[in-house]
């Protein structure tokens, strides 16, 4: 696929599909006949609905002729835009195209080129040779943070970079010029070894009340994150599995803890509702035990019930 983007301003119409660079001013025409253009409505799933409201300084607005104007294109503007003329509608899809490093080099050089062209013959400008080449994006992070070889990837585009338009071409255009495409993947190694959890100062004669499950405590000791002989902050081991340090401890049991019932939702004169909260806790400590009460199939306490209140008293007239 071949698409062209004008750097500062691009004009489109519904029925097309376009790849837009950030910051571009976009104008989209909704071609209709026998319909008042000032009544055309534009809709976007995220941006909402737009229609002509007179002269506007907004970032997105509709002209009296029914054209949609996006002053500076951003990622939030991507997706399908629909224009409605009564019961008829048509759409256009805009893609957010983050420029490669090649675009920034083109932009810098084009500023210099525009300055040089002030006194240049227009005919000479139009006959300048088109320059096509591969442009490489930055390498991604390594696919694995540690523990052996991983993979890095990058985008490589065939681009035309020496004209008044910035173009991304099909790869075939560069291959047709016998240009070899640079690699898009390579192997990488961040750290030969990964950090791991280590259980230090272990005392296997003491099973503590730090419960890991029903009837399961943990051996006495300290769990730390290490790399070789170095101790690291725990977040370095957040993706690593911990060694099994559970031991049998019958004290590790769970129960439902319930709050008191709330006041009746109907203060007087009929039937209302009362509510209360419940939570699963460890029997010995009252600390939260997560979903273990459900896993143990403990009967769930009632959390809502009806309540009947006395008739309301009539206020006395003065």
- Same domain, residue pair 234 and 170: no
Task: With a cut of 70, say whether residue 109 has pLDDT above it.
Answer: no
61 is a domain residue: yes
Mean pLDDT computed over every residue of the chain: 82
User: HSE of 209 in the Cβ direction (CA atoms, 13 Å)?
Assistant: 9
- Same domain, residue pair 210 and 161: no
- Same domain, residue pair 81 and 155: no
Please state whether the predicted TM-score (pTM) of the whole model is above 0.75: no
Query: How confident is the model at residue 98, as a pLDDT?
Result: 64
Q: What's the CATH number where 272 sits?
A: 2.20.100
Q: How far apart are the first and last CA of the chain?
A: 85
Dihedral angle sign, alpha carbons of residues 48, 54, 60, 66: positive
* Higher-confidence position of 19 and 79: 79
113 is a domain residue: no
Task: With a cut of 60, say whether residue 49 has pLDDT above it.
Answer: yes
Query: How confident is the model at residue 102, as a pLDDT?
Result: 53
116 is a domain residue: no
- Same domain, residue pair 89 and 18: yes
Query: How confident is the model at residue 17, as a pLDDT?
Result: 75
User: HSE of 101 in the Cβ direction (CA atoms, 13 Å)?
Assistant: 9
Query: How confident is the model at residue 235, as a pLDDT?
Result: 84
* Of the residues 77, 96, 115, the one at which a domain ends: 96
Query: How confident is the model at residue 104, as a pLDDT?
Result: 54
DSSP string for 187-204: EE-S-SS--EEEEEEEEE
43 is a domain residue: yes
* Contact yes or no for 272/264 (Cβ under 8 A): yes
Q: How many folded domains does the chain comprise?
A: 4
Domain span at 172: 128-188
225 is a domain residue: yes
206 is a domain residue: yes
- Same domain, residue pair 243 and 258: no
* Of the residues 212, 227, 248, the one at which a domain ends: 248
């Amino acid at each position: 696929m071949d698409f062209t983007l004008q750097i500062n301003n691009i004009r489109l119409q519904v029925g097309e599909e376009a790849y837009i660079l950030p910051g571009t001013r976009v104008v989209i025409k909704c071609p209709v006949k026998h319909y008042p253009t000032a009544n055309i409505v534009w809709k976007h799933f995220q941006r909402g609905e737009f229609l002509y409201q007179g002269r506007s300084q907004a970032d997105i607005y509709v002209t009296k002729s029914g054209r949609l104007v996006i002053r500076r294109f951003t990622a939030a503007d991507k997706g399908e835009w629909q224009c409605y003329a009564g019961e008829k509608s048509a759409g256009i899809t805009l893609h957010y195209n983050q420029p490669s490093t090649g675009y920034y080099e083109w932009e810098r050089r084009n500023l210099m080129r525009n300055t040089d062209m002030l006194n240049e013959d227009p005919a000479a400008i139009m006959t300048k040779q088109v320059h096509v080449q591969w442009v490489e994006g930055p390498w991604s992070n390594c696919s694995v943070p540690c523990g052996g070889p991983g993979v890095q990837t990058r985008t490589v585009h065939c681009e035309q970079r020496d004209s008044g338009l910035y173009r991304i071409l099909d790869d075939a255009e560069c291959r047709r010029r016998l240009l070899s495409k640079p690699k898009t993947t390579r192997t990488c190694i961040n750290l030969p070894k990964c950090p791991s959890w280590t259980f230090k100062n272990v005392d296997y004669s003491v099973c503590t009340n730090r419960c890991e499950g029903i009837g399961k405590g943990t051996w006495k000791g300290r769990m730390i994150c290490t790399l070789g002989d170095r101790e690291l902050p725990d977040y370095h081991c957040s993706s690593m599995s911990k060694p099994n340090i559970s031991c049998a401890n019958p004290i590790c049991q769970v129960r439902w803890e319930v709050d008191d019932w709330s006041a009746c939702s109907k203060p007087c004169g009929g039937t209302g509702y009362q509510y209360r909260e419940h939570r699963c806790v460890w029997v010995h400590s009252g600390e939260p035990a997560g979903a273990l009460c459900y896993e143990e199939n403990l009967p769930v306490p009632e959390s809502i019930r009806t309540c009947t209140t006395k008739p309301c008293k009539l206020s006395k007239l003065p």
